[in-house]
Structure formats: structure tokens, C-alpha cells
């Protein structure tokens, strides 16, 4: 008889996929199997004139050849076993550089493209980087860093051609010549699957950010687990929206490369809907804030057209027919699906909790929408929903090769989420003390990572997050409030772009407060003043309070139309925001 754990694992073991032990094996497999498929479609524009747009199609075969050429040249330049930093927005050259370093040259150090010069310089010092590959947009910063001579950088390589610097294109051509002459140093390079191959900095100031050490094994076995749980096709088109310097973005792109899918790049958050249609995107991995915003826009359009009741009836009929295996969603929701490009079939949400109404709404329209969960330290995915295991509000089941437990649970079963598996990082670079705080090794040799997230596991094994341990508002009476739970309720209000619930210090206690960034268009379309809008928001907050225990009532309101301070994965920097609010009092 199968145990409960075995039954849960079976629900994450849905598809066949080979198990590879390193990233190079994954890329080699795809290059051979999907040689003629487009790995990337790259948009080229001249002076932003629409009719001058041209698209470059890069096949898997070409991609594989250029990885080998660039890697060969890197080794020829003396970069074998060196640290190579990469900085720039998502691009073909970014991913090409990443794989050319990690698959045989040395250790790759992806840097956040949003950092100021001093922080970039500091991270280059902390990682002991020997080379940097940069987008041309960073030329002024790079020139200054080069002039300062405070880092160990000896090679400055631009992703585009610019006078005074080596370019990726130039190095590829030189690498091809080396390959022609029989140089196999990169091709034959041995990969140690379990040693540090990637240094990733967590968000925060340079002094507070920690350098996460990941191996090939961490990434490769996480991709294997994802392929066992979710189905992707070589006909899929993925919009690479999440920043590649973040493990959610880079592992996500590697996941699609492992399936022979085509990858395209977003022109910016304002152009997402246009890009979805332009490329015929079928799969979109993004953050909840964006998904919820898209869903709200669809709802507003439905309301504007007076079709709210019609859509409700159509949804009820459709869901009834699905019970008998009859799926009419693509037909009856065609107009809605066309707003999203018409071909999208799968949305993956990560980085934070998604509103269950948005997730259910998209699933009702026929777009499989699942929630995933993980951290940089877990390469990144710990758990996820899949087509056979969806429970709205949850983060699904652990990956097939991951185990999860709840530590120090309270009377409600809420405690810290702790995970073990081959995806758990090696540790924090040059920070043994911080590593020991988050990783414990049990008597069986299993390394358990303490996520810092609070949650519980329901009777069926689904994991639910209640909030970040460090974000919990602890009142004087001992009551705990999880701000993320309240934010989901607030974010449902039609005029809310984003919100943050926090404890405002007052005497020797905290007042549960909420800061709301309202939608400017809503205010203008309804022709109301900010004071009138604030009154409306207060009334709606009071209605939400009625559904909550008295100690959770939000009693202080701040509204603004200015976006909050966020990380590059759209997470609100709470402590910076709270400090800003307190200083403005």
C-alpha cells in the first residue's frame, strides 16, 4: 500500500524526461534533438521605425555552435577556471555568454542590471571576478570601473561591437577559427557537477546581499524535476520576461531550452500584450503582480462591454462540460484569449503568492495557470502546482526530488517551511556563519534549508504560505498577523495596483496599516479627486475588516500613485518602504 508521501510524489511524476547531471548535457541533448528548431527569435530594429523591424532566427544547431566557439575563445584568452561576470538586460548574447562560461570555461557571476555603479564594483570585488561581459548600455559604468582599477577585472567584453572593447561577435568568430584548427579545450572540458559553478547575489545592499553558490547538479536536477511535473513542447514559444540574472529567470529559460522550445524577449512591461501576439507566445513565466494586472484589465473590459453576466454563465457551462471531458473554452472565450495573443496555453507564476481569483479566472478561460515556489538558494523551485494538482492559494506539492517539512509549528500548524533535495545550494560564498544559520544536516546526511517563509501543509499534502518570517507583525497582545494574507484581499480591489500591509509603530505597540498604490487610469476614468478616492478606499477597507478578526483590522491608510520600491522580480522592498513612511511622518 502506497504511503501518503508516495501518492504525492506520484502526482509530480507525470511525464518522461531524461535525468541529466549537468547543464552541458542538457544543452547537448537539445542541440542534437532539436537542431533545426528555432532556439531564439531576436528582434532587430533601426531607429524605432516599425517597418524596419527584422527578425533573426537562431536554430539550436547554431546556438550550440556559438556556445562552443565563444567558450573555446574564452579559454584561449586565459579564462579557464576564472570568474566571469555578466550584466545587461535579457538578450541572446546574455544567455550565450552564460552557457559559454558555465559549460566548460569557469564560474559565472550574473549581476543585477538595476544596480548602481558602486554596487556593481563592490560585487565584482566580492566575487573576485576576472572578466565582465556587459551590454552596451553599461558602457559609461564599465569605463569608470576600468579606470578606477579597484577590481580584478582583466577582460572587458561588450555584447555589441564598440570601439576600444572586444565584442562577443568578434570572439565567436575567433573561436570558430580555433575550432577549425582542432582546438577542443572547451568541448572536452570536464565538468565537476557538484562544485561551485555559479555565484548569484541575493537582493539587498552589497553589504547585506549574500552570494549564493550553486552547482551544475543543483540546476540540472531542478530542471529534471520540473520536466517530470510540467509538460512543455518543442512547439512552445516562451516569452523570457523574468531577469536572467535571477535564478528564476535563468533556470526558467534553461527549462525551455531543454524542451526545444523557441524563446523570445520582451520589449518592456508596457509591450507585453503586443509581444504575446507578435510572437504567438504559448508559455509565459512571470510574477503575480503582472498576472493580476492582466486579469484586472480583462475584467474591466468585460464590465465595460456589459458582458459580466454572460461570462459568468459561460464559465459555469464550460466548467460543467469539462466534467464530461468536453472543452469549449477556446471557442467561447476566444475574444478574451485574443487579448493575450490568442495562443497562450500556460502561465507559471512565481516569486510571491498569486491572488486565487486571478489564477482561477485564467484556468476558467482555458489557460493552465499554476503557482510555483522557491528561492535563489534552492536553484530555485521547491514546489509547484501542475495540471493534476491545483489547489488555489497553495504552492502545490514538493518537486519529485524534494522533501518539505514544517518546523516549530504553532497550534494552527503554521511554522517555517524547511526543504531538502539536490537543489539546495552549496552555501553562501565566504560566509560560513550565514550558511550555518539556514542549513542543518540531519543524522542521515540530508541538508535541510530553512526558507524563512512561514506556512502549513494541508491534509492532502498541499503547501500553503502565510508569509515571510521576518515580515510577521507581532502585536503587544502576542497576536501574529501575516501581511501577505491581507494584501491578497486588498489587491482584489479594482483600483489597486499594489499594496503593502505593515505595522506602524505607535507608543509601545504597532498599528496595522496599509499603503496602497492606486491606478491613475481608474481615478481619471471615474473623474474623482484623490480625497474622494481615499474615502472610497477607506469604505472598502472597512468592508474587508468586517471579514477579519478584530486584531487584524487595518486602521491606518496611506494612498499614492507612485510605485513602491521593488526588487527586479517585482517584490516590494518592505523595510525600505516602511523606513520611508516613518521618515515622512
pLDDT attached to residue 469: 78
Judged against a pLDDT cut of 50, whether residue 412 lies above it is answered with yes
Confidence of residue 521 (pLDDT cuts 50, 70, 90): confident
Per-residue H/E/C for 28-77? HHHHHHCCCCEEEEEEECCCCCHHHCEEEEEEHHHHHHHHHHHHHHHHHC
SS3 442: coil
- The pLDDT of 27-44, averaged and rounded, is 97
Please check whether residue 110 is in contact with residue 86, taking contact to mean a CB–CB distance below 8 angstroms.
yes
At how many degrees (to 10) do helices 168-180 and 60-76 cross?
Answer: 90
Q: Please count the CA atoms within 13 angstroms of the CA of 212 that sit on its side-chain side.
A: 26
* Alpha carbons 104 and 84: distance in angstroms, whole number: 12
pLDDT attached to residue 206: 47
pLDDT attached to residue 47: 55
Residue 368 pairs in a beta bridge with 346
Task: Using alpha carbons, select from 244, 167, 261 the residue that is nearest to residue 200.
Answer: 244
Judged against a pLDDT cut of 60, whether residue 530 lies above it is answered with yes
- The pLDDT of 147-165, averaged and rounded, is 95
Task: Give the Cβ contact number of residue 470 at 10 Å.
Answer: 10
Cell of 165: 572593447
pLDDT digits (tens, 9 = 90+) for 129-153: 999 999 999 999 999 999 999 999 9
Please check whether residue 513 is in contact with residue 554, taking contact to mean a CB–CB distance below 8 angstroms.
yes
Task: Using alpha carbons, select from 89, 86, 91 the residue that is nearest to residue 41.
Answer: 91
- The pLDDT of 163-177, averaged and rounded, is 97
Cell of 27: 544543452
Cell of 152: 580584478
Site of grid cell 497553495: 394
* Alpha carbons 539 and 274: distance in angstroms, whole number: 36
* Alpha carbons 464 and 441: distance in angstroms, whole number: 24
* Alpha carbons 361 and 429: distance in angstroms, whole number: 42
Please check whether residue 40 is in contact with residue 70, taking contact to mean a CB–CB distance below 8 angstroms.
no
Site of grid cell 489547489: 391
Confidence of residue 549 (pLDDT cuts 50, 70, 90): confident
SS3 84: strand
Kindly list the structural domains of the chain, giving each domain's residue range(s) and its CATH number in brackets, ordered by start. Answer: 472-584 (3.30.300.30)
* Alpha carbons 509 and 507: distance in angstroms, whole number: 6
pLDDT digits (tens, 9 = 90+) for 246-269: 999 999 999 999 999 999 999 988
Please check whether residue 61 is in contact with residue 98, taking contact to mean a CB–CB distance below 8 angstroms.
no
pTM comes to 0.85
pLDDT attached to residue 477: 74
Please check whether residue 362 is in contact with residue 369, taking contact to mean a CB–CB distance below 8 angstroms.
yes
SS3 127: coil
pLDDT attached to residue 51: 62
Give just the sign of the alpha carbon dihedral 131, 136, 142, 143. Answer: positive
pLDDT attached to residue 508: 75
At how many degrees (to 10) do helices 272-279 and 288-304 cross?
Answer: 90
Task: Using alpha carbons, select from 578, 579, 568, 577 the residue that is nearest to residue 115.
Answer: 568
* Alpha carbons 543 and 226: distance in angstroms, whole number: 41
Please confirm whether the linkage preceding 380 is cis (ω < 30° from 0): yes
Give the residue with greater pLDDT, 325 vs 196: 196
Cell of 549: 478578526
pLDDT digits (tens, 9 = 90+) for 298-347: 888 888 888 888 889 888 999 899 899 898 988 988 888 888 888 999 99
* Alpha carbons 87 and 263: distance in angstroms, whole number: 19
Phi-psi sector, 42: left (phi>0), alpha (psi -120 to 50), beta: beta
Strand-strand pairing, 131-134 and 155-158: parallel
- In this structure, the chain runs to a length of 585
Site of grid cell 544547431: 61
Strand-strand pairing, 509-518 and 556-560: parallel
Strand-strand pairing, 198-201 and 211-214: antiparallel
Site of grid cell 486571478: 358
Check residue 159 and report its DSSP letter: S
- The pLDDT of 258-284, averaged and rounded, is 94
Cell of 430: 565566504
DSSP secondary structure string, 195-258? S--EEEEPSS-TTT--EEEE-HHHHHHHHHHHHHHS---TT-EEEE-S-TTSHHHHHHHHHHHT
* Radius of gyration of the CA atoms of the chain, in A: 25
- Scanning 349-411, the segments in alpha helix (DSSP H) are 356-364
User: Which residues touch 252 (CB under 8 Å, ≥6 apart)?
Assistant: 238, 240, 242, 285, 348
pLDDT attached to residue 475: 81
* Alpha carbons 334 and 342: distance in angstroms, whole number: 7
pLDDT attached to residue 170: 97
**At residue 467, what are phi and psi to the nearest 5 degrees?**
155, 175
SS3 186: coil
**Interior angle at CA 569, CA 564 and CA 571, nearest 5:** 40
pLDDT digits (tens, 9 = 90+) for 423-473: 999 999 999 999 999 999 999 999 999 999 889 999 999 999 888 777 888
SS3 362: helix
pLDDT attached to residue 379: 96
Termini Cα distance of the chain: 62
Question: Average pLDDT, whole number, for the chain?
Answer: 91
Give just the sign of the alpha carbon dihedral 120, 121, 122, 128. Answer: positive
Amino acid at each position: 500500500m502506497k504511503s501518503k508521501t508516495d501518492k504525492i510524489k506520484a502526482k509530480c511524476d507525470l511525464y518522461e524526461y531524461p535525468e541529466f547531471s549537468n547543464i552541458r548535457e542538457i544543452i547537448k541533448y537539445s542541440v542534437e534533438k532539436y537542431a533545426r528548431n528555432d532556439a531564439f527569435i531576436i528582434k532587430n530594429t533601426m531607429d524605432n521605425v516599425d517597418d524596419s523591424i527584422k527578425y533573426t532566427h537562431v536554430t539550436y544547431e547554431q546556438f550550440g555552435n556559438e556556445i562552443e566557439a565563444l567558450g573555446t575563445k574564452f579559454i584561449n584568452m586565459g579564462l579557464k577556471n576564472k570568474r566571469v561576470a555578466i550584466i545587461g538586460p535579457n538578450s541572446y548574447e546574455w544567455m550565450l555568454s552564460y552557457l559559454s562560461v558555465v559549460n566548460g570555461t569557469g564560474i559565472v557571476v550574473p549581476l543585477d542590471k538595476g544596480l548602481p555603479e558602486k554596487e556593481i564594483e563592490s560585487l565584482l570585488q566580492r566575487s573576485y571576478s576576472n572578466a565582465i561581459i556587459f551590454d552596451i548600455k553599461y558602457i559609461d559604468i564599465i569605463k569608470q570601473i576600468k579606470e578606477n582599477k579597484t577590481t580584478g577585472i582583466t577582460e572587458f567584453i561588450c555584447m555589441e561591437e564598440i570601439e576600444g572593447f572586444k565584442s562577443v561577435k568578434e570572439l565567436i568568430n575567433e573561436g570558430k577559427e580555433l575550432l577549425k584548427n582542432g582546438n577542443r579545450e572547451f568541448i572536452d572540458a570536464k565538468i565537476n557537477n557538484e562544485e561551485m559553478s555559479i555565484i548569484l547575489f541575493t537582493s539587498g545592499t552589497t553589504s547585506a546581499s549574500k552570494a549564493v553558490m550553486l552547482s551544475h547538479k543543483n540546476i540540472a536536477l531542478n530542471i529534471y524535476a520540473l520536466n517530470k511535473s510540467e509538460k512543455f513542447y518543442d512547439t512552445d514559444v516562451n516569452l523570457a520576461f523574468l531577469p536572467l540574472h535571477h535564478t528564476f529567470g535563468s533556470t526558467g529559460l534553461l527549462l525551455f531550452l531543454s524542451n526545444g522550445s523557441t524563446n523570445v524577449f520582451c520589449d518592456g512591461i508596457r509591450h507585453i500584450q503586443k509581444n504575446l501576439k507578435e510572437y504567438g507566445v504559448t508559455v509565459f513565466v512571470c510574477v503575480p503582480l503582472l498576472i493580476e494586472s492582466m486579469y484586472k484589465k480583462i475584467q474591466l473590459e468585460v464590465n465595460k462591454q456589459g458582458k459580466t453576466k454572460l461570462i459568468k454563465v459561460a464559465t459555469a457551462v464550460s466548467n460543467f462540460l469539462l466534467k464530461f471531458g468536453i472543452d469549449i473554452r477556446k471557442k467561447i472565450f476566444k475574444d478574451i484569449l485574443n487579448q493575450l495573443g490568442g495562443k497562450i496555453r500556460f502561465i507559471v507564476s512565481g516569486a510571491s503568492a498569486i491572488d486565487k481569483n486571478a489564477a482561477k479566472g485564467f484556468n476558467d478561460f482555458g489557460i493552465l495557470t499554476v503557482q510555483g515556489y522557491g528561492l535563489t538558494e534552492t536553484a530555485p523551485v521547491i514546489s509547484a502546482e501542475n495540471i493534476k494538482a491545483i489547489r488555489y492559494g497553495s504552492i502545490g506539492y514538493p518537486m519529485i526530488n524534494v522533501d518539505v517539512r514544517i518546523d516549530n509549528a504553532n497550534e494552527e500548524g503554521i511554522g517555517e517551511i524547511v526543504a531538502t533535495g539536490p537543489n539546495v545550494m552549496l552555501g553562501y560564498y565566504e560566509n560560513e556563519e550565514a550558511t550555518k544559520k539556514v542549513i542543518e544536516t540531519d543524522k542521515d546526511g540530508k541538508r535541510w534549508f530553512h526558507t524563512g517563509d512561514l506556512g502549513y501543509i494541508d491534509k492532502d499534502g498541499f503547501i500553503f504560505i502565510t508569509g515571510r518570517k521576518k515580515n510577521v507583525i507581532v502585536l503587544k497582545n502576542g497576536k501574529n498577523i501575516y501581511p501577505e494574507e491581507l494584501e491578497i484581499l486588498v489587491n482584489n480591489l479594482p483600483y489597486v495596483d499594489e499594496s503593502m500591509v505593515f505595522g506602524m509603530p505607535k507608543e509601545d505597540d504597532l498599528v496595522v496599516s496599509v499603503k496602497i498604490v492606486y491606478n491613475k487610469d481608474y481615478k481619471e476614468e471615474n473623474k474623482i479627486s484623490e480625497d474622494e478616492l481615499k474615502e472610497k478606499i477607506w469604505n472598502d477597507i472597512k468592508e474587508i475588516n468586517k471579514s477579519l478578526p478584530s486584531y487584524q483590522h487595518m486602521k491606518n491608510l496611506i494612498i499614492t500613485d507612485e510605485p513602491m520600491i521593488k526588487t527586479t522580480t517585482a517584490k516590494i522592498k518592505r523595510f525600505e518602504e516602511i523606513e520611508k513612511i516613518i521618515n515622512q511622518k
